[in-house]
Amino acid sequence: MKIDGKSKLCGLIGKPVEHTMSPLIHNTLSEILGKNMVYVPFLVEEDLKSAVEGAYALNIRGLNITVPYKEKVVDLLKEIDPLAGQIGAVNTLCKTEGGYVGYNTDMTGLYRAFCSEGIKIQGEKVIILGAGGAARSVACLCSHYKAAQIFILNRNVEKAKLVAEEINALQEEPLVFPMALEEFDQLPKEKMLCIQATSVGLAPCEERVVIENQSFYERIHTGYDLIYRPANTRFMQLVKAQGGRAFHGLKMLLYQGIEAYEIWNECRVEESLCNTIYEKMKGEMGIEE
């Protein structure tokens, strides 16, 4: 890769950043597409404001934002995209005159991952496991794309109620229904889409799962785990054991990066190239499917 005075610089701000796969996505895209753009990770220990202001002063075209700064960065931006505003978190910045504009490509990337797997949201009844930041974002996405009903199941039902109240306030009638985990038997007696939006099951605790009872998984026609390491979580195993389809979150990671790249370069990445990058990511992780 040639780097010169005309090279466009983009990167990642977060803590930690050592294990990120984002450089693989962006630098491979630039190499294949012949774009003079370089992507590097930046470890920011604590002074996010100085990091964002310094990036702007250095003419850094775009930044991805990862934990723990996705919410904190919002107050430092010139403006934010409406979907990112509804979600309350930003993971992509693009330099404009007077400051950075913020986007949430995590959720648009998740939607694109769904589309690539033939998973639809519109008109679907959706179960979301968890009520943290990721679950709230997923609930916003499902609301945006016209899910029929959304059930948020969480150990702490009060947290689920807060998410439900926030999203329902924007609806003409209640769309989101909070439930305690042990109340899953009160769900509609039909097959639904289920999105696993907690950190339960992350390596090295691969055998953990939010709900173990197999009767819960009989209600799921498609399960999507936002976790991508391991590539076959306990949640996915239980969904498949009851005849459902199950997916890990690596394509979400892929497409959030693709969407950020498209914003920074004002281009559209063809699906065939997305597939090429995805195969390279799987190879990096040692995933065979």
- List active site positions: 70
Q: At which residue do the structure tokens 């890769």 appear? A: 1
Q: What are phi and psi of 241, to 5 degrees?
A: -65, -25
Q: At which residue do the structure tokens 């693989």 appear? A: 24
DSSP 8-state class, residue 172: S
* Burial of 9 (C-beta count, 10 Å sphere; 0-12/13-18/19+): middle
Contact indicator for 30, 82 with CB cutoff of 8 Å: no
Supply the DSSP string of 109-160, one letter for each residue.
Answer: HHHHHHHHTT---TT-EEEEE--SHHHHHHHHHHHHTT-SEEEEEESSHHHH
